[in-house]
A and B are shown apart, each in its own frame.
Chain A
Amino acid sequence: MEDNNKKNQNPTSTKRRDIIKGMASLPVLGLFGIEYARSNHAESKGETVDMIKELGLEKDLGSISAKSYDKPKDTIRLGIIGAGSRSGSLLFHTGFAPKKSVEDFSKERLEAWMGYRDLNVVLTGVCEVFDERAERALAAGNNSVKAYSGEKNLPKVKRFKHYHDMLESDEIDAVIIATPDHHHVSMTVDAINAGKHVYCEKAPTRTEEEIQILAEALKDSKQVYQLGHQIRHNPIYPYAADLVKKGILGDVNLVEVTTNRNTPSGAWVRHVNSDGSPKSGDARSIDWELWQGDRPQAPFSIDRYYNWTKYWDYSTGILGQLFSHEFDAVNGILNCGIPATCMCSGGIYYYKDGRQTPDLVQAVFEYPDRGMTLVYSATLANSRGRGRVFMGNEASMEIGSSLSVTADGNSEKYRDKLDKKLIDTNKPMFTVGQNTGVDGVSSATQKYYVERGLTSVKIGDELKDVTHLHLKEWLDVIRFGGETSCNVDWAVQEAVILQMAKKSYLEKRQVRWDPVNKQIV
């Protein structure tokens, strides 16, 4: 029956029916087209706005990099006081590394290191209380990038037991101080008086009294002083300073900076290796008396030697070691200087290992003249990533390894763009700078340093280490004049804020800065 019916059907009408059937999905395509257009409109695609351009900002961080000078012809003779782990890094970035480690360098690391030849420096002195470390620094000094490139007749590195002997040597033009904090001021002052230029690691001072001593010694001195805050050479910071100056954030009223680390090494438990075995060093190989300096004499302690940050006798703890970087970043951006008041509290909550300095801290610094408060909070027992946040009435800026700015929902400045949905408050208006240098083998503490902008940074296509740039600037100023980016003025401001926090913490009260009498009350 059915077959008969089919046969009787008009072929033209079957064809037409087939065509209609074949085209059945065309309305679906039409619907798709309409909905796709609607979805594009909803996301305001094609109507994106380049806020960097709109706000008249630079796109390329490389345009804000360290000044460049001609290749120097004169050689600067360096001495290094303190040859611990930080010192190894400072030596590497001035072109000194033991032969054995150079052989293990990756191609990129070797290339960067070879580039340091342009600094034209030699190491002529090492001062260190621990024989093993001194040997390592001597090996690095004798295998300078100059020697490695085949340069002959280079001076030999001499070991000095006491830094006074080193300062008396006329074969040294400048010293790098990388000792525990309790030596910083006496060594800096003695070096300046001996006519040597100084690069000193943070913290600038250990006590309030030392601030004035440091300031006096450096006042009108011809020697060049640089405090070791390499972050100044991360171009993100001058970029951020420019943003604030241009009013992109509006009035900055709250700044939040943080420290989160969660490893024993990050909490200065460093007398054991990662496999738990004890690190080398004992009363015979370490000149303990010299190491203690003017501090109360304690029996030899490997804990105090490696983990000195845990003790007020030798440091200002988390404040001098970590908050100092945070403050330097904030001060570099906002030029806010010394706060009017400080309230700092905290405690030893996690590392109950006999330490004196806190492992958890929160501090509030008030700047009433600027209508601004700086809040710092830190823990050594949690590694949650929290950026540095600068909050203004128009926008917020967050700085980690990159910088991003997000408009405030109630901003007037960005109202128009917010209304048009060209920008939104859930994601940044723009982000600049992308740090690199972390891989699967980097330690947690290393990652912390990278996140805080304290290691390498991409300038143009080149990966530059900020410590190298900071040392280079110091050497450039010694040769060509000018000002270091972390000179005594910055160092004094930082020393004061650190001492305010320390005093407030220890005395459990709010402290004030008396600018007339230049003291903390």
Chain B
Amino acid sequence: MNKTQSVSIFVLRVLIGWHFLYEGLVKISDPSWSSVGYLKSSQGPFSGIFIALADQSTTMVAIDFLNQWGLIVIGLALITGIFTRIFAFSGMVLLLLYYLCVPPWVGLEYSIPMEGKYLIVNKTLIEAAALFVLGVFSAGEQFGLDTLIKRKSAAATNLATG
């Protein structure tokens, strides 16, 4: 990867990390926040599952907790570039769940207004795809802590084989 490519991947990783981290922190600092409303507004083929989850208050406590801390941890990992592959793919799965909960598909109408106009593809799906790219390209090795981990494990391998 040449320098421009490395820097581009680094910038993309940090931007998405920033977005995740802030979303997580905002949710944690608002005591009234819960994903119940989002899940309850679910439509499409998986709406049954999402709505059923929203109806169970004990499950919701766990879902909200995982959501808040999931976003924060993934955000921090992406910014610092540590274990990037795992966290990029986890973030992608999380975003795909958001996407499938309220997919912008033809024929589905939502009472909560969206901030743009979408047909199948929306920003959540694009961000999920971007995380896939980051995972595939080992983005943490471009100006990230994964460089050091790789170096360490390489050194260990060298020692073992040497």
Complex contact A24–B144 (CB within 8 A) = yes
* A contact residues, total (Cβ < 8 Å): 15
Complex contact A24–B148 (CB within 8 A) = no
Is B137 an interface position by the 8 A CB rule? no
Specify the main secondary structure of chain A where it touches its partner: helix
Complex contact B145–A29 (CB within 8 A) = no
Q: Which residues of A contact B145 (CB under 8 A)?
A: 22-23
Nearest A residue to B21, CB-CB? A32
B2-24 contacts to A (CB < 8 Å):
10, 14, 18, 21-22
Is B101 an interface position by the 8 A CB rule? no
Complex contact A36–B148 (CB within 8 A) = no
CA distance A19 to B147 in the complex (A): 8
Q: Mark A483-506, 1 if CB is under 8 A from B, else 0.
A: 000000000000000000000000
Q: Which residues of A contact B79 (CB under 8 A)?
A: 25, 28-29, 32
Complex contact A28–B22 (CB within 8 A) = no
Q: Which residues of A contact B76 (CB under 8 A)?
A: 29
Is A45 an interface position by the 8 A CB rule? yes
Most buried by B among A18, A32, A36, A40: A32
* Contacts A18-B151, A21-B147, A32-B18; A26 near B25 (Cβ below 8 A): no
From the candidates A15, A19, A22, A45, name the one contacting B81 in the complex (CB within 8 A). A22
B residues contacting A by CB (< 8 A) are 10, 14, 18, 21-22, 25, 29, 76, 79-81, 143-148, 151
CA distance A24 to B81 in the complex (A): 9
Q: Which residues of B contact A45 (CB under 8 A)?
A: 29
B94 CB, nearest partner CB in chain A, Å: 20
Complex contact B148–A29 (CB within 8 A) = no
From the candidates A15, A25, A29, name the one contacting B143 in the complex (CB within 8 A). A25
Complex contact A19–B10 (CB within 8 A) = no
Complex contact B148–A18 (CB within 8 A) = yes
A152 CB, nearest partner CB in chain B, Å: 43
CA distance A32 to B151 in the complex (A): 28
* Contacts A15-B151, A40-B29, A45-B29; A25 near B80 (Cβ below 8 A): yes
Q: Which residues of A contact B14 (CB under 8 A)?
A: 25, 28
**Cβ contacts A to B, 9 pairs, < 8 Å:** A15-B151, A21-B147, A23-B145, A24-B10, A24-B143, A25-B14, A28-B18, A28-B79, A36-B25
A7 CB, nearest partner CB in chain B, Å: 14
From the candidates A22, A25, A26, name the one contacting B148 in the complex (CB within 8 A). A22
Q: Which residues of B contact A29 (CB under 8 A)?
A: 76, 79-80
From the candidates A15, A25, A40, name the one contacting B144 in the complex (CB within 8 A). A25
B75 CB, nearest partner CB in chain A, Å: 9
Q: Mark A24-60, 1 if CB is under 8 A from B, else 0.
A: 1110110010001000100001000000000000000
Complex contact B143–A22 (CB within 8 A) = yes
Q: Which residues of A contact B148 (CB under 8 A)?
A: 18-19, 22
B159 CB, nearest partner CB in chain A, Å: 14
Nearest B residue to A15, CB-CB? B151
Q: Other than the known A22-B148, A36-B25, what 16 A-B pairs have Cβ atoms closer than 8 Å? A: A15-B151, A18-B148, A18-B151, A19-B148, A21-B143, A22-B81, A22-B143, A22-B144, A23-B145, A24-B144, A28-B18, A29-B76, A29-B80, A32-B22, A40-B29, A45-B29
Q: Which residues of A contact B22 (CB under 8 A)?
A: 32, 36
Q: Which residues of B contact A22 (CB under 8 A)?
A: 81, 143-148
Q: Which residues of A contact B29 (CB under 8 A)?
A: 40, 45
Nearest A residue to B25, CB-CB? A36
CA distance A18 to B150 in the complex (A): 10
Q: Which residues of B contact A40 (CB under 8 A)?
A: 29
CA distance A295 to B35 in the complex (A): 60
Q: Which residues of B contact A21 (CB under 8 A)?
A: 143, 147
CA distance A23 to B147 in the complex (A): 9
Nearest A residue to B7, CB-CB? A24
Nearest B residue to A24, CB-CB? B143
Nearest A residue to B6, CB-CB? A21
CA distance A19 to B25 in the complex (A): 28
A189 CB, nearest partner CB in chain B, Å: 52
Q: Which residues of A contact B10 (CB under 8 A)?
A: 24-25
